[in-house]
Structure 1
């Protein structure tokens, strides 16, 4: 049926006639159609206008199988939507003009909702038109109102509705054509006020709308000449959408199927034949192809946007059946079936993406669902994700696993996961274990593993040492209470069940040679990382430098028990050879000073005779020391051991290539020859009233008594450390150290004792001692006496000097003789010394009988030689067992009275008084022409109240000096009396200096 004026290709006149006839016959039908259209308009289709236009364009393109293009152009107050694809046909026109019906039945790929979507144009236009290459139709509110107004049966209803009519029920032909290249164009003259709304909708048109419209390849949006191009490039598993200069890649999963017929029994007849379904799930990717979950506020696309909220952060497109409002999904078995399909599609999407922690953002969270459908979708998706192998495995990046097999660390780091990936099954990478991901992992049912479980898991594993190093470094910073049982591989193949007490070898420690020591030494490669050492030290392990290991009590115990192990090899101890090799290797690394650790000398080492001996009793073969000892005095180290072991290590453990030092805090603990006699000699040097001394640490030299060649030994002794040659200071008094004392008291210089010789430079002891002959450095060690004081410092040397003074073959310097006996008496005071057979009476004279002059005036009266008493006649007499002069001369006086005069009257008395330091002389003196006592002439003689003199100046000086107690000034006084005429001159000389 055609209109006469326009050429009615689609029979619009017949459609109008049928509709108007039905309305006139039954006004209720008019009301029903008007109400239905009003409902659609009131449904808010203005926000869906562009989507519905795009959906129709996609369906048109799908019917031809070619990618479609939609052009949306707003010019002035007209919106045009031109599309490619199948042109408008009569069935399409019939669908446009028939509410709640559509020409779309079983068209494959159709996404439209059975014609209802076109009603969205009424939100902005009262005069919509659809033109196509096959013809066109238009709709008009004004024209429809005029047609309805001409029907008397509808006049009342039209008035009641104030002229509102169902616009889309009456079509008229349109004679326009679409733009070139397009099959159809929807033309919408906009009603007043609609343009801003349409312009805003065009500006906000989402580019990703194309994901829901598989028939469309692009949309061009033109507003007043400004064009926006949106294109989609679909490929397997992805879609690239360009919007102007911006491009976004989406990961896409798509599943298709067919609904069982029985599920559609309750749906409208139009839907029953459309059983095929396709569900699409998509998520955008960033520039690195990592998933970028969408922000909140998503909706279900069914397939175009619905009002159903979606808390899943992705685009979900599924042909859910809509309810009467065309905005919400209708519940029922079809929806339930499509929910399951949507869950499978989402799981397909997730499992098809590269493993990235961002995928956890897709996991539904408990309590976030916004509506019933959303809750059903989230629950179904979560169930499918739990059953799908999509989570990565840290130990194998190419492997995927279900959440039920997966596990995460409580406090993960990349290092911890890398270390534990092959120990804890299903462990996720650290990036999948962020705190923010906890709810997602909990929803999936992923196991969370604490450090205590990790420690338990590694307890029985066998791994190379570097693996343990990585594990320890990764665990650094963890609460140490959880790591107390952390295993530590030991160098000897054992495993320590906890770090406490484990030794952490430092660089240079020969760990793998120390097995015989039984130490808990960590495998070095397990503790190379600084963080690994830091962790183990925090857990109670101890740094193990070579010196620290050498100081370990277990090492000392092993050394001290090494000879027992030789003597009793069945006691279960280490093999002596292995133990010796271990200790020597350790000593070689630690480099202790010789003698620093004296207990090392107890280490059992093989000797040259095939036996074993303590290291401290063995001599290094070929050393200078070996040739100067008495044969058989000490053992010799096995030559093979000496050739293969570092000589410094051998010396450090006590093997001798020179004299060994011993030290003790108490000299009674010195195990050296003559130590007790040295102590006695030292104590004899202290003052008699001195308190018991506080001994410092003393150093002695071993094996001096074993020397057979002193000419070779002395240079070695000279080369010993200074502490061996040093004096000992007791109570501020320096005394000879053990070494000097021992050498001084033994015939080490050509068979002679150094304390029986003098220093070659000594003049004071010439005649008494032969000079010592030795190199200067040896003399510096032995220190033979230089002075009498050096001799008198030692009791034994003093006794020897006493005998030497009586030796007629020796001579004594006069200045020495004058005081030597007095000094000997002082030095030997309290010593039970036998008197000598002969005494020295002159520098080159001795006598068997002599007298000790204790009163100088008696010298002319004694008949025996006089021994110089040095001011201590009594002590000398006791020392020498000789009589004093006063004991041999009878107590008589002068035979004559003499001329008595006052001392002040004696010429020269004034100068004499001045030299005595007194004002005037007191007392009197008797001057004799010839002074005779006991029949012998004397020069002076003291009496109780008067001094007798023979008148000579010498006699006057002696008598006055003795009387004044100034015996040493006797010569000065004699000079004063001998030269009274020179008193002033001599007094002037006295004034030059003090007396």
Structure 2
């Protein structure tokens, strides 16, 4: 036992001699416990554990357990000794002042326990194996104070409040868990204290072992749930040193005497491999303070602290450590891999406090001159130029191939991935070179030796997602000139003719090259003057690349001329033009000559055309008077009717190609990249369809491609859905319902077509969405879950639109298993017990990774099918003898051999995981009747008969546990033996046999007559 009586007598005597001393101790303890140390309990326990491990030279382990209103803290390390007891029972006097590396240094940390408990105790196992303990008690302290006449008045004046930790008591029955050296036991004062401790345990994170290196692991167990905290996965940089006497005199002039006795300093930075969730963004010195630190790393440093250990004390020592922290942080950045992730660790300009700002200033001042960034030196494969300071680096957006091409032109060029708009680049002093500026640099001496083939390779690598920035890219011409920008140049095929793309373009190309005049002015003929603005500047054949066409170069074909940006601009401006007729005639002639079909060029819908009323409309706002769509659309939609003379002159097909609505317009495209920047056909909700399709495909480096894209447009305007669906479900529009074939990573995958996807999500079938319905001839297991689809529409078409047909098809569909579980959780839907069993059987075969845990399940409770919330404790039953033990709970029932799989799918426990299933009654071992063994060859030789069989204290008819059948009564024995022998289906026959053994010959004879298929 510790000599606690001496300490108590000494303190009581001091209090009796000076009651003011009693008040001082009480006030100081209250200030520390309820003020500066009110929420530091876990930190202080960890600190004591770390110091104990450091003192003993052993790996520090701390286990914090919260259960039944008690917090236990078990740790390894040096045991509590007499000096330790005295230190814990005093304020502002630490026994660790001479321990290098100790986290504790103020002597008040243990006061944090006062905020949550009135009966703390500490027990330690000595090297001899003896366990000694000490405890403190507010009640016993109050009794001793009350018994001291000189203090009675003080106690009354404080309403009975006494210092808890000043009077230690011996602990007669201490205990320490095996594997640990010390145990702190804190019975929590009340519910509020327990909630506070629970919160502190939840907030505990890697900062504990990182700030206290002697503490290797912290295991936290709350209500049976455990987690372990360690510093694993963190990159740490540490700097430390010892102050010279001169430095101590200069830097510690304003610090207390005991701090000057610790003349050493330490700075550590830690960066996690991933996110730093769970680590407070504050300075650790070494335990958490209230000093905010919004840098993306954890700082642990021996900053001087105020007495409450909440804030860093300003002064020369803090200034010194700020400079060392900045130096260490810069070294940390230099040690990390030179990848773009490094930019996230570069501090911004704004700090979250004075100390944060001071550290940032020091770091930011040093960064631009510090070699941290990689560079590439030439275009021969992007050869590395070494690591350079930020003020020598240049950042250009673009892929690696492009950066390699311009490396010899842009000095100090950062590799691909470093040219983001990250603000850290500015902090590092990196100069951003915009793509347009790089294009400007591609002139003069820098490129005078580059041949046309080099330019083609540059076009291939050039980022093409910003045409404006690269619009002035130089283009080498066949005559040797280098001109700015592809716009106005002409790309010809290798044989000297235009690089055509349609059969109808040959005549136009010949006319262009010969300079001859065009033909007539009617439909099907073109005036070559339409091509004059293009300039006919021919690109050198060795430099030809598709990028030039995208940037404005043109092929001499009706289609490319039609798609020229100037043509687009004329169409877009035609509605605002004083006389749009010439533009309309030119565009309609180009559409005719190019042979465009409806939906092929959606942008043409902006072309201004005359309506039958003489007013001006966009083509997409006009209907053909005789078209089938005119009778299907909502009459409230403001459409006009195309002028009859335009229909007569150009024909319905040409007007439909410009966007005038005839029947349903169909968009046809090929080799469509499923990329938001590329896939845009001006279809309603096309972006949402694209997102849904991409969700069905794996993440790919290259966008997937739809070989043949077919979609029906203008579905959003339909009002008469019965007639509209009649058209859509028949050829040729039916083709738009069929799944699209997507080429993804070399494999062909079928995905829902745009048209089928759009219809599936809109109320087009009697006011219901197709995905909410089932086929009339569909799987009976879907009855009650889905309404019946209207008759009169082809069932294959309905299936393509999303109408459910089979349970297997539903479960194979993306999100299908979760949809089925949601429907089963809908109490308004009717599901009978046989149907429910079949559905559970089917769901047991689903991959659990495809299903999120449901919030409610359809289950059987007291024989009734019901919907139970997961909070109600539903279980999956895997064995019949467990049924009586869980009969009050919602039960998920399916063939027992599927129970484990169904448990994984539903994320629900098995019944056996929720009960102990222990036989708690006693019985007598009896032999199994030989008549039964003749029917059940695999039955055990004996069983245990109980007058009343109790399992977990509950009366049950039978239990098969640890290979032994326990039973009471004939029915229980029959079931137990049938289950034990693996012949559960014979349980009724066994019961009959047990009641009348004389029937054995008859039962065996009946079994001999079973058909061969039953063997």
The structure that has the greater radius of gyration is 1
| TM-score, length of structure 2 as denominator length | 0.45
